[in-house]
């Protein structure tokens, strides 16, 4: 595909036309496949005609030598039909799969353009359906739509011209009926199935989304007794898809029936016209079987067109869904002429920065922050204060107002991938892939050696745990890291971050969802492993912030206080209240295990009631 174009909707660029343009690199191959297929189909038609002539001529018992050429022709056509068909399948499928690969890359790039915040417009199951089922449907465009129609037109034209030479009247009648089979019958099939097909691709997307959601939430659905409702929802959507499939089958049946009727009409008409001509002596008797049987073979070639019409309707829905990805505006626009980011990290500066997820609802306002190389800066605040929004802006996942400079370069003016070569992120829900521990870590730097991966795992303090596993770092962790604990998941993500070796690291709630002891151990590991990096720690947990070079408190999207730990305690406010609340919880956690355990005392009056 040239430029890996993704179909877009619009007045000047319809999805189907754009989908065909996206296969421009494969058009010569597809043209060759079309010619090979036409030769194969023509060989099949000619084989029946030559066989009819040979049998008719042989019935006259001529000298054997007069049949030699016809016999050789029959053998040649029988072999060429198979050879041409095989070559057509080989060339056509090679071109189609090359185009499909490029289209899938283009769709993935559109998703990458939107990720991570822009894909919130779509559910996970819906995205899966667009990336897999809808893109796979594009394979039908060359193989089931364009090539069959092109072959049928070429073969019909050649056959009709030959019949006109033999019997002009029969040739014209077969020509008219061929137009009916080429245009009218597929149009009726498409008309019958159009409404169902317009709903099919979205219905499949909803079904896939429902199944994925149900599988992801199986433990919660079972725990709260909602599995039955989720199953009923999936069953309802499946019934909808089944009903649409039945409508498709009905339309295909209508097309098949009309095709047989037209084929019968063509054969009957040819017979009705040719017999009087033979009787009148204007047509040699040996050609009678040829005139009658050629339409039979020709309409067998065109029998696939109703299915092609149905595939066309199906593909229109998928093409629209693919096009919708290109219509969603990117949360961050890539600059036309990106500025380079200095290889040496020289700090981060925010001046009057603001950002919003929903237009008109600011998540951050007038934020000023200066992070110098080697500093540990903590950003704290209650939930909803804008902490994670800050991380999204710095990673280039969200547009902003004001100024955000990384090593002197404005982040909005830099290429996103180039800026992220200097930034590392450890989020509260770092994604763990369904592969081995080592492969999960190697995502940080795909060309890393086994020794470098082992060193990163050691720095993340996973060596003792790995030694207890039968397969060590080769152990598969399951989808979303289901086979490991939360703390181990975060340490695997930390090892990935260390292997990437970014000079500036953003820790976005890294100990969230972990119990107190595990969170403390993880934070100690982070402090040790990232001692030589510049770190921006985003958290609402204040334990361990005494050593931070700077603490910035956010509230309602604005900076409400900043300073070191002691200064913020002295100033009072949210930070001091949260700190003393954490201290009280820790004291209580230490005190409860020391309380004496005595005999249970019955409630007053219980014995008297008896």
pLDDT in tens, 470-507: 888 888 887 777 778 877 888 888 888 888 888 899 88
User: How many residues would you count in the chain?
Assistant: 610
Residue 537: partners with Cβ closer than 8 Å, 6 or more residues away: 376, 377, 378, 379, 507, 510, 545, 548
What is the separation of C-alpha 562 from the centre of its chain, rounded to a whole number of angstroms?
44
159: pLDDT strictly greater than 60 = yes
Question: Which strands make up the sheet holding 534-538, listed edge to edge?
Answer: 423-426, 504-508, 534-538, 376-380, 550-555, 558-563
Under 8 Å between Cβ of 288 and 168: no
23: pLDDT strictly greater than 80 = no
Report d(CA 302, CA 438) in Å as an integer.
55
E strands, 264-410, are 348-358, 361-371, 376-380, 401-406, 409-410
Helix (H) / strand (E) containing 550:
strand 550-555
CATH architecture under which domain 11-327 falls: Up-down Bundle (1.20)
Helix (H) / strand (E) containing 86:
helix 68-114
For residue 609, name the pLDDT band (cuts at 50, 70, 90): very low
| Residue 512 confidence (pLDDT) | 74
The strand pairing partners of 535, in sequence order, are: 376, 505
Under 8 Å between Cβ of 379 and 98: no
| Residue 154 confidence (pLDDT) | 92
Enter the tokens of residue 125.
Answer: 């199951």
219-233, 252-266, 425-439, 593-607: segment of lowest average pLDDT: 593-607
261-265, 312-316, 432-436: segment of lowest average pLDDT: 312-316
What is the separation of C-alpha 284 from the centre of its chain, rounded to a whole number of angstroms?
62
Enter the tokens of residue 90.
Answer: 């080989």
Under 8 Å between Cβ of 448 and 499: yes
Count of CB atoms situated within 10 Å of the CB of 10: 11
610: pLDDT strictly greater than 50 = no
Helix (H) / strand (E) containing 505:
strand 504-508
Report d(CA 497, CA 495) in Å as an integer.
5
DSSP symbols for 203-257: HHHHHHHHHHHHHHTHHHHHHTT-HHHHHHHHHHHHHHHHHHHHHHHHHHHHHHH
Q: Which span out of 33-47, 186-200, 316-330 was modeled with the highest average pLDDT? A: 33-47
pLDDT in tens, 250-280: 888 888 888 889 989 999 999 999 899 988 8
CA terminus-to-terminus distance, the chain: 87
Residue 114: partners with Cβ closer than 8 Å, 6 or more residues away: 121, 325, 328, 330, 331
Same fold, 343-422+504-518+531-594 and 431-501: yes
| Residue 183 confidence (pLDDT) | 86
The strand pairing partners of 211, in sequence order, are: none
For residue 608, name the pLDDT band (cuts at 50, 70, 90): very low
516: pLDDT strictly greater than 90 = no
Q: Is 212 exposed, middle or buried (0-12, 13-18, 19+ CB in 10 A)?
A: middle
Residue 64: partners with Cβ closer than 8 Å, 6 or more residues away: none
589: pLDDT strictly greater than 70 = no
The residue-averaged pLDDT of 556-560 equals: 88
The residue-averaged pLDDT of 71-84 equals: 91
The strand pairing partners of 371, in sequence order, are: 348
| Residue 597 confidence (pLDDT) | 57
Q: What is the mean pLDDT of the chain?
A: 83
Nearest C-alpha neighbor of 507 from the set 488, 486, 485, 529: 529
285: pLDDT strictly greater than 80 = yes
| Residue 372 confidence (pLDDT) | 92
The residue-averaged pLDDT of 369-398 equals: 88
- For the domain made up of 431-501, the CATH class stated in words is alpha beta
115-119, 162-166, 396-400, 521-525: segment of lowest average pLDDT: 115-119
117-126, 391-400, 557-566, 569-578: segment of lowest average pLDDT: 117-126
Q: Where are the domains of the chain?
A: 11-327, 343-422+504-518+531-594, 431-501
Report d(CA 225, CA 215) in Å as an integer.
15
Helix (H) / strand (E) containing 159:
helix 147-166
Sign of CA pseudo-dihedral 146, 152, 153, 154: positive
pLDDT in tens, 390-428: 988 888 888 889 999 998 889 888 888 888 888 888 887
The strand pairing partners of 153, in sequence order, are: none
Sign of CA pseudo-dihedral 74, 77, 83, 89: negative
Domain at 343-422+504-518+531-594, CATH from 3.40.50.300, 2.60.120.10, 3.55.50.30, 1.10.569.10: 3.40.50.300
Distances (CA, A) of 532 to 101, 375, 418, 469, 535: 43, 9, 22, 31, 9
For residue 382, name the pLDDT band (cuts at 50, 70, 90): confident
The residue-averaged pLDDT of 171-200 equals: 83
For residue 8, name the pLDDT band (cuts at 50, 70, 90): low
Q: Apex CA 295: angle with CA 292 and CA 298, to 5°?
A: 150
Sign of CA pseudo-dihedral 324, 325, 328, 334: negative
pLDDT in tens, 335-361: 888 888 888 888 899 999 999 887 788
| Residue 255 confidence (pLDDT) | 83
For residue 602, name the pLDDT band (cuts at 50, 70, 90): low
The residue-averaged pLDDT of 556-561 equals: 89
């Amino acid at each position: 595909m040239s430029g890996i174009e993704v179909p877009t909707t619009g007045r000047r660029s319809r999805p189907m036309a754009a989908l065909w343009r996206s296969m421009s690199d494969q058009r010569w191959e597809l043209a060759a496949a079309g010619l090979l297929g036409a030769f194969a189909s023509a060989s099949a038609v000619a084989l029946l005609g030559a066989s009819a002539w040979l049998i008719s001529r042989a019935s006259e018992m001529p000298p054997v030598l007069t049949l030699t050429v016809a016999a050789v022709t029959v053998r040649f056509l029988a072999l060429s039909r198979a050879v041409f068909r095989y070559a057509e399948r080989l060339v056509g499928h090679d071109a189609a799969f090359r185009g499909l690969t490029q289209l899938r890359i283009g769709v993935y790039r559109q998703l990458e353009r939107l990720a991570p915040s822009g894909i919130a417009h779509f559910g996970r199951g819906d995205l899966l359906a667009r990336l897999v089922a809808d893109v796979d449907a594009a394979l039908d465009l060359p193989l089931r739509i364009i090539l069959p129609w092109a072959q049928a037109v070429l073969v019909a034209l050649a056959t009709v011209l030959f019949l006109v030479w033999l019997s002009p009247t029969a040739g014209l009648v077969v020509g008219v009926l061929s137009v009916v089979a080429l245009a009218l019958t597929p149009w009726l099939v498409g008309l019958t199935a159009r409404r169902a097909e317009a709903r099919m691709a979205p219905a499949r997307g909803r079904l896939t989304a429902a199944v994925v959601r149900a599988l992801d939430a199986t433990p919660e659905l079972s725990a709260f007794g909602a599995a039955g409702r989720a199953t009923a929802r999936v069953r309802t959507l499946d019934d909808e898809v089944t009903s649409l499939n039945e409508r498709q089958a009905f339309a295909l049946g209508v097309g098949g029936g009309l095709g047989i009727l037209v084929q019968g009409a063509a054969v009957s008409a040819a017979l009705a016209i040719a017999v009087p001509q033979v009787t009148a002596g204007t047509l040699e008797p040996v050609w009678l079987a040829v005139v009658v049987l050629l339409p039979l073979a020709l309409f067998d070639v065109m029998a696939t067109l109703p299915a092609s019409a149905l595939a066309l309707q199906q593909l229109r829905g998928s093409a629209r869904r693919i096009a919708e990805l290109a219509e969603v505006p990117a949360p961050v626009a890539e600059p036309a002429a990106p500025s380079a980011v200095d290889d040496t990290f020289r700090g981060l500066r925010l001046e009057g920065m603001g950002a919003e997820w929903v237009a008109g609802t600011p998540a951050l306002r007038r934020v000023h922050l200066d992070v110098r190389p080697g500093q540990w800066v903590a950003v704290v605040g209650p939930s909803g204060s804008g902490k994670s929004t800050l991380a999204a802006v710095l990673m280039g996942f969200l547009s902003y107002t004001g100024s955000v400079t990384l090593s002197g370069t404005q982040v909005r003016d830099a290429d996103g991938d180039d800026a992220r070569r200097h930034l590392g992120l450890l989020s509260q829900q770092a994604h763990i892939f369904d592969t081995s521990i080592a492969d999960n870590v190697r995502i940080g730097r795909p060309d890393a050696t086994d020794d470098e991966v082992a060193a990163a795992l050691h720095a993340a303090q996973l060596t003792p745990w790995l030694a207890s596993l039968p397969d060590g770092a080769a152990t598969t962790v399951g989808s979303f890291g289901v086979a490991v604990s939360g703390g181990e998941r975060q340490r695997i993500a930390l090892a990935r971050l260390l292997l990437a070796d970014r000079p500036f690291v953003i820790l976005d709630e890294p100990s969230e969802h972990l119990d107190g002891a595990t969170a403390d151990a993880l934070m100690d590991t982070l402090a040790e492993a990232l001692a030589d990096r510049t770190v921006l720690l985003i958290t609402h947990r204040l334990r361990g912030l005494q050593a931070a070079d700077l603490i910035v408190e956010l509230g309602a999207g604005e900076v409400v206080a900043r300073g070191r730990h002691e200064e913020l305690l002295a100033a009072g406010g949210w930070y001091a209240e949260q700190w003393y609340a954490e201290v009280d919880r820790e004291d209580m956690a230490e005190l409860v295990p020391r309380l004496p355990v005595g005999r249970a005392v019955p409630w007053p009056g219980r014995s008297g009631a008896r």
